[in-house]
């Protein structure tokens, strides 16, 4: 083994001697991978292809003991450390640039205790791993819309999905975690043990340590739901979005709707002559009975003449993969988002206006309905807060690595977001923040919970060992 040059905890470069590295790797159950190794290539291949960070080395953890060893090693040798879950963070926060990346992606067990309605989930799991295991028992936790996303990053940032209207943020389903803190101790945290730490982990991201296990409260869902999407030409956008709003205002919590304005993808469900033309899509998930779903969706269907109506009774686990193909790994992504309380006429007018002359193939503005159960908790029930959110408004851009439209796409996202942000509650989702968002955006995510979060950070991570994240130290 040769000497390794690494990024130091507070910047600069440090040299790790061969014997230091040998002692460390000799103890590992997993492996230390360097550039050129297959494990390095796999671990550093993340969803947003725009991220250019290259860690000096990757530790592929095979056990909680490996996590303890890596945390101790990084702290004692003052090496910058990042934590990789599903690698889906848009800002690429799973990778240290020049430091050490702790890759949790090999730890993927899910144990479902259907009698107690709980799932114990290892921190390297994807959403798909968990949905498949829990749905075998007709159970589900509230997880997000794309199955390859990591449970760790999603949960630690708050988390939302089709079940949020019924059960709240993902952190509202979180019962307990196992975590390795900066001092190398393995701790459990819950509402009755290390309560302050548990409160902070419910939204505070990777600031407090490496979570090795999540325990979720499960709910009876499915196994079949009514889900899919209905699309119309953009000429119908005003009446479609008005109907979307009207249903959203009175819908039972079993129904979640998502409005999307974009140009039609070259998908099999879109007639070829409409590929690339502006459309409006309503994504649907109804976890009540098919009869209830038919009644609740009737106003949408009454609009008539869609380009496609793909809403049908299907497995919930399949619904949870509906949008996977729209977010392929390796493309370049740039987003901006805000939480909004409701959909005023002015907001909807602004929403439509952003699409005039929009030619990019995959740019979109999305309105995810999230209101319901989460609004019933006090703002300080977990660090995530944002209990006044009704919709997540997300301006999204995607392009292929060889595209020359990167600057134009980024500019469009910023312009559309600038137009829409006056409707914000003042809060935004920390998990949707891109690499270029300034520190105050993170502060805005936590609003009044920030001070308490920083106190917990001072207690459990006084040297800010866990800093490759949306850092709250300020
Ligand atoms: C296509 C796509 C769809 C999405 N859809 C949704 C959605 O429907 N709902 C939603 O809520 N969010 C959604 N997100 C956002 C998602 O929650 C975040 O991107 C999240 O960070 C992804 O988690 P990850 O584990 O894959 O991230 P990674 O990139 O692996 O990690 C991100 C950060 O999480 C922290 N982290 C990861 N693992 C651990 C750990 N074991 N212990 C401590 N900290 C850790 C680290 O700080 C790391 O820097 C989506 C993202 C994408 C790309």
Strand order in the sheet with 110-113: 110-113, 118-122, 210-217, 174-180, 186-190
Mutational test site, ligand 1, from 59, 154, 260, max ligand atoms within 8 Å of CB: 154
Answer whether 83 contacts ligand 1 (Cβ < 6 A).
yes
Average pLDDT of 354-381?
Answer: 94
374 Cα–ligand 1 center, Å: 20
Answer whether 283 contacts ligand 1 (Cβ < 6 A).
no
Answer whether 211 contacts ligand 1 (Cβ < 6 A).
yes
Answer whether 168 contacts ligand 1 (Cβ < 6 A).
no
pLDDT of 301-337, one tens digit each? 999 999 999 999 999 999 999 999 999 999 999 999 9
pLDDT band, very low/low/confident/very high, at 24 (cuts 50, 70, 90)? very high
Which atom of ligand 1 lies closest to the CA of 470? 47
3-state SS of 67-121 is: HHHHHHHHHHCCECEEEECCCCCCCCCCCCCCCEEEECCCCCCEEEECCCCEEEE
Q: Where are the alpha helices (DSSP H) in 236-369?
A: 237-250, 290-301, 316-319, 345-353
Which atom of ligand 1 lies closest to the CA of 159? 11
474 pLDDT more than 80: no
Average pLDDT of 123-128?
Answer: 98
Average pLDDT of 182-197?
Answer: 98
2 pLDDT more than 90: no
110 Cα–ligand 1 center, Å: 18
Answer whether 433 contacts ligand 1 (Cβ < 6 A).
no
pLDDT band, very low/low/confident/very high, at 359 (cuts 50, 70, 90)? confident
Answer whether 123 contacts ligand 1 (Cβ < 6 A).
yes
Nearest CA to ligand 1 atom 15: 431
Question: b/e map of 397-423 (b: 16 or more CB within 10 Å)?
Answer: bbbeeeeebeeebbebbeebbeebbeb
93 Cα–ligand 1 center, Å: 9
Which atom of ligand 1 lies closest to the CA of 88? 26
Query: For residue 395, with 0-12 CB atoms within 10 Å meaning exposed, 13-18 middle and 19 or more buried, which class applies?
Result: buried
* Percent of the chain residues topping a pLDDT of 70: 100
pLDDT of 239-283, one tens digit each? 999 999 999 999 999 999 999 999 999 999 999 999 999 999 999
pLDDT of residue 41: 97
55 Cα–ligand 1 center, Å: 19
At 177, give phi and psi (nearest 5°).
-135, 160
Q: How far apart are CA 106 and CA 60, in angstroms?
A: 7
Nearest CA to ligand 1 atom 46: 206
Q: How far apart are CA 385 and CA 379, in angstroms?
A: 5
Average pLDDT of 101-121?
Answer: 98
How many alpha carbons lie under 13 Å from residue 92 in its C-beta half-sphere? 23
Which atom of ligand 1 lies closest to the CA of 47? 53
What tokens does 457 get? 């950070």
Q: How far apart are CA 207 and CA 83, in angstroms?
A: 10
Taking a C-beta distance cutoff of 8 angstroms, is the pair 292, 313 a contact?
A: no
pLDDT of 223-239, one tens digit each? 999 999 999 999 999 99
Q: Model-level pTM? A: 0.98
Answer whether 205 contacts ligand 1 (Cβ < 6 A).
yes
Nearest CA to ligand 1 atom 28: 87
Element of type H or E holding 165: helix 164-167
What tokens does 249 get? 């205002």
pLDDT of 206-218, one tens digit each? 999 999 999 999 9
Q: How far apart are CA 97 and CA 82, in angstroms?
A: 9
């Amino acid at each position: 083994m040769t000497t390794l040059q690494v990024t130091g905890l507070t910047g600069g470069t440090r040299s790790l001697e061969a014997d230091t590295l040998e002692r460390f790797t000799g103890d590992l159950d997993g492996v230390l991978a360097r550039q050129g190794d297959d494990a390095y290539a796999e671990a550093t291949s993340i969803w947003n292809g725009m991220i250019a960070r290259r860690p000096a080395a990757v530790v592929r953890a095979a056990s909680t003991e490996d996590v303890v060893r890596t945390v101790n090693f990084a702290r004692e040798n003052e090496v910058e450390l990042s934590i990789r879950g599903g690698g889906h963070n848009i800002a690429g926060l799973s990778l240290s640039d020049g430091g050490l990346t702790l890759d949790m992606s090999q730890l993927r067990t899910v144990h479902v205790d259907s009698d107690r309605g709980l799932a114990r989930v290892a921190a390297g799991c994807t959403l798909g791993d968990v949905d498949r295991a829990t749905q075998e028992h007709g159970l589900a936790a509230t997880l997000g819309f794309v199955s390859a996303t990591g449970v760790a990053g999603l949960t630690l940032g708050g988390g939302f999905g089709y079940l949020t209207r019924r059960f709240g943020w993902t952190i509202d389903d979180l019962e307990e975690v196992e975590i390795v803190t900066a001092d190398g101790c393995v701790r459990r945290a819950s509402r009755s043990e290390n309560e302050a730490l548990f409160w902070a982990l419910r939204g505070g991201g990777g600031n407090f340590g490496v979570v090795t296990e999540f325990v979720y409260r499960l709910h009876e869902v499915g196994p079949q739901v009514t889900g899919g999407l209905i699309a119309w030409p953009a000429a119908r956008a005003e009446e479609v979005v008005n109907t979307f709003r009207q249903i959203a205002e009175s819908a039972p919590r079993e129904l979640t709707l998502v409005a999307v304005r974009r140009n039609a993808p070259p998908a099999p469900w879109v007639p070829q002559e409409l590929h690339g033309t502006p459309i409006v899509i309503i994504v649907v998930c109804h976890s009540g009975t098919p009869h209830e779903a038919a009644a609740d969706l009737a106003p949408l269907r009454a609009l008539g003449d869609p380009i496609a109506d793909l809403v049908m009774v299907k497995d919930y686990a399949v619904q949870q993969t509906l949008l996977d193909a729209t977010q392929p790994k390796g493309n370049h992504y740039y987003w901006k988002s805000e939480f909004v309380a409701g959909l005023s006429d002015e907001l909807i007018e602004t929403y439509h206006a952003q699409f005039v002359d929009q030619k990019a193939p995959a740019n979109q503005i999305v309105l995810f309905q999230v209101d319901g159960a989460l609004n019933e908790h006090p703002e300080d029930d977990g660090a995530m807060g944002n209990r006044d959110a009704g919709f997540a408004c997300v301006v999204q851009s995607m392009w292929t690595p060889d595209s020359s439209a990167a600057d134009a796409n980024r500019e469009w996202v910023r312009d559309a977001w600038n137009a829409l942000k006056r409707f914000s509650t003042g809060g935004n989702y920390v998990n949707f923040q891109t690499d270029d968002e300034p520190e105050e955006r993170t502060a805005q995510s936590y609003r009044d919970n920030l001070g308490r979060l920083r106190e917990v950070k001072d207690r459990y991570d006084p040297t800010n060992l866990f800093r490759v994240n949306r850092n709250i130290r300020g």
